[in-house]
Chains A and B, each alone.
Chain A
Amino acid sequence: MPAPTLSPRKAAPRPRHGAGLRTNASREAFVRALRHNLSAHGFLIGAVLCFSFFSWYPMVREFILAFQKTEGGRTTWAGWSNLTTVFNDPAFWQAWRNTLLFTGLALLLGFAVPFVVALVLNEFRHAQGYLRLLVYLPVMLPPVASVLLFKYLYDPGYGLLNRILELLHLPQQQWLQDPDTAMLSVVIAATWMNMGGATLIYLAALQGIRGELYEAAELDGAGVLRKIWYVTIPQTRLILSLMLLMQIIATMQVFTEPFLLAGGAGPEGSTTTVVYLIYQYAFNFNNYGGAAALGLVLLVLLAGFSAAYVRLSRGGEDE
């Protein structure tokens, strides 16, 4: 008879040896699992602590704040009053109109332009690296530099843009000073600053399209436009929808550009966005409850887009 071994690995399949050994083995397995989990959680703990303090706790707090009010240093439950205050604020509706206008214009420019640019760049057999570099250059500038530079270009008196319009015999604009053109001016600057990322992503997607598809379309007699419609767009549909959702989510939260370019509100409040209104509520009026209520509205509206984005990108993973 072989000498009984105490190694747990061998003891486990031989339960006959007695209950003592078995509990010993399972205890060792338990200790091993415990040690494994302890060290695994040791690797996790730093990030989890940061998330707890600076992400999860603020998330919970956002919901609590939205239903609280602070008066004279005392914080009490406010029910729905923060939300009704916000809904009754005329600035709320104006901010939403402005934000939707910004989102619409930004998508028109910021979604369509990079795709067209990517389509054109993809055809070039020369200087593609140089052109890609150019498009992405503004993305790397500190936003304050590009924004203040645009402010200088937009200046109705000495700005370069009006000078160019003058040379082209086009009517000069007040740009940021005119409530009708202020938001458009912000969108143009924002598109210049941010279009590089989308362009490069589209370019990569276009380069993934198999050439045979175009050849097949040509055999069927398709022209350039029909090739775009029947080959390019269906082949890049996933990336296009993902980018569309991402841009909707990002542009609805616009803050920095109107804040720096037009001082936030802009002429007659024409560039007040929802996030700028949150900023005003919190840091100008010290009304954190109102700010949180505004945030909650934005969160609920964007949640649908975010969920769609996550689902789509998961689907893309599985393909």
Chain B
Amino acid sequence: MSSTRTLISPAQLARPRGRFLYWVVFALVVGLFTLVFLGPLYWMVSGGLKTTQEVVQSPPTLVPRTVHPENYSRAWDVMDLSRLLFNTLYYALGALAFQLVLDVAAAYSLSRLRPVFGRAILAMMMVTLMIPATVLVVPQYLTVLDVPIVERNLLNSPWVIWLPSVTNAFNIFLLKRFFDSIPRELLDAASIDGASRMRTLWSVVLPISRPILGVVSIFAVVGVWKDFLWPMLTLPDPAKQTLNVGIYSLANGVPENVLIAALAIASVPTLLIFLVFQRNIMSGLTAGGLKG
């Protein structure tokens, strides 16, 4: 942002003293940030390469004396990381699909079709935002043990992640607000051309809404990927566990260096997602989340 005018005036920065101070502070901050935010990641990757003795040695070594990449393959096998990764991906993509279909349809209906009781339904959805999520964990858990009417126990099934993920009032709010901003004429034109509501949603609304759909998708995937308490309670079967819960429950049974290698592997997928979708994530966070 070189053109924006900020706290320090350009005139001050242009002076030799100002420029010197700027570069000193800049270098300090870049160094400190690299150390604080990349340091632990380096420690994780390098810790995973050390021997079991070296990793718990005091004082710790900065660079592994001997490099043991086989820790990583051991971690992969011992902690069954391929299964945990697959499970988490399966839950995350399923939750994404359910949210995209059901929440988008609901937001479209509430924003554009405005059925009777629509406002009341929206209000009731928004009320759930005011209830602390952790308070609902216990009654939600009791509910999935024996879902009323259908009388099913959802424990250990992917539905226990997918269906509750739809109750994301914040995503519905974001989608509705975006749909509200689509010009009326556009939708009227579609309906004059004889498009059905489904067709209008599919060919007019969704293509315009790509940015907000991106934001909502990222929230949906990252939400499942980072959740801990709910999957720990509802997916007790080790074969069905998520990455977070699986690693946590095996953490005490493996040597430290193998555990650290496993943590490094577990961090790769979301870091990749982040690096690829960096722009969308960051703009979604600020534009989608809150308006100043």
Q: Give the distance to chain A from B109, nearest Cβ to Cβ, in Å.
A: 4
A67 to B135, CA, bound (A): 15
Q: Mark B242-256, 1 if CB is under 8 A from A, else 0.
A: 011101100100001
Listed stretches A1-9, A88-96, A176-184, A201-209; interface member: A201-209
Q: Which chain A residues in 120-152 approach chain B with CB under 8 Å?
A: 120-128, 130-138, 140-146, 148-150, 152
Residue of A44, A130, A238, A298 contacting most chain B CB atoms (<10 Å)? A44
Q: Is the CB of A160 within 8 A of B4?
A: no
Q: Give the distance to chain A from B218, nearest Cβ to Cβ, in Å.
A: 10
Q: Is B286 an interface position by the 8 A CB rule? A: yes
Q: Is A175 an interface position by the 8 A CB rule? A: no
Q: Which chain A residues in 263-318 approach chain B with CB under 8 Å?
A: 275, 278-279, 282-283, 288, 291-292, 295-296, 298-299, 302-303, 306-307, 310, 313, 316-317
Q: Which residues of A contact B41 (CB under 8 A)?
A: 137
Q: Which chain B residues in 123-137 approach chain A with CB under 8 Å?
A: 124-126, 128-137
A66 to B7, CA, bound (A): 52
Q: Is B38 an interface position by the 8 A CB rule? A: yes
Q: Is A55 an interface position by the 8 A CB rule? A: yes
Q: Is B90 an interface position by the 8 A CB rule? A: no
Q: Chain A residue with minimal CB distance to B147?
A: A53
Q: Give the distance to chain A from B262, nearest Cβ to Cβ, in Å.
A: 9
Q: Chain A residue with minimal CB distance to B57?
A: A158
Q: Chain B residue with minimal CB distance to A119?
A: B7
Listed stretches A19-27, A56-64, A102-110; interface member: A56-64
Known contacts A43-B113, A56-B124, A158-B56; decide if A144 and B266 are in contact (CB<8 Å): yes
Q: Give the distance to chain B from A181, nearest Cβ to Cβ, in Å.
A: 19
The A interface is mostly helix, strand or loop, or mixed, namely helix
Q: Mark B180-201, 1 if CB is under 8 A from A, else 0.
A: 0000000000000000010000
Q: Is the CB of B6 within 8 A of A122?
A: yes
- Residues of A in contact, count (CB < 8 Å): 110
Q: Which residues of B contact A55 (CB under 8 A)?
A: 128, 136, 164, 167
Q: Which residues of A contact B124 (CB under 8 A)?
A: 51, 56
Q: Is the CB of A149 within 8 A of B40?
A: yes
A47 to B125, CA, bound (A): 10
Q: Which chain B residues in 223-277 approach chain A with CB under 8 Å?
A: 225-226, 228-229, 233, 243-245, 247-248, 251, 256, 259-260, 263-264, 266-267, 270-271, 273-274
Q: Give the distance to chain B from A202, nearest Cβ to Cβ, in Å.
A: 9
Q: Is the CB of A149 within 8 A of B278?
A: no
Q: Is the CB of B29 within 8 A of A58?
A: no
Q: Is the CB of A224 within 8 A of B130?
A: no
Q: Give the distance to chain B from A116, nearest Cβ to Cβ, in Å.
A: 11
Listed stretches B68-76, B97-105, B207-215; interface member: B97-105
Q: Which residues of B contact A192 (CB under 8 A)?
A: 36-37, 40
A43 to B118, CA, bound (A): 11
9 nearest A-B residue pairs (beta carbon)? A211-B5, A40-B115, A40-B113, A47-B106, A43-B109, A204-B286, A58-B139, A46-B102, A50-B166
List B residues at the A interface (Cβ < 8 Å). 1-2, 4-9, 22, 25-26, 29-30, 33-34, 36-38, 40-41, 43-44, 47, 55-60, 98, 101-103, 105-106, 108-110, 113-116, 118, 121, 124-126, 128-144, 147-148, 163-164, 166-167, 172, 197, 222, 225-226, 228-229, 233, 243-245, 247-248, 251, 256, 259-260, 263-264, 266-267, 270-271, 273-274, 278, 281-282, 285-287, 289-292
14 contacts across the A-B interface (CB closer than 8 A)? A46-B101, A54-B144, A57-B143, A136-B281, A137-B37, A145-B44, A145-B266, A145-B267, A152-B47, A215-B9, A243-B290, A295-B132, A306-B130, A310-B126
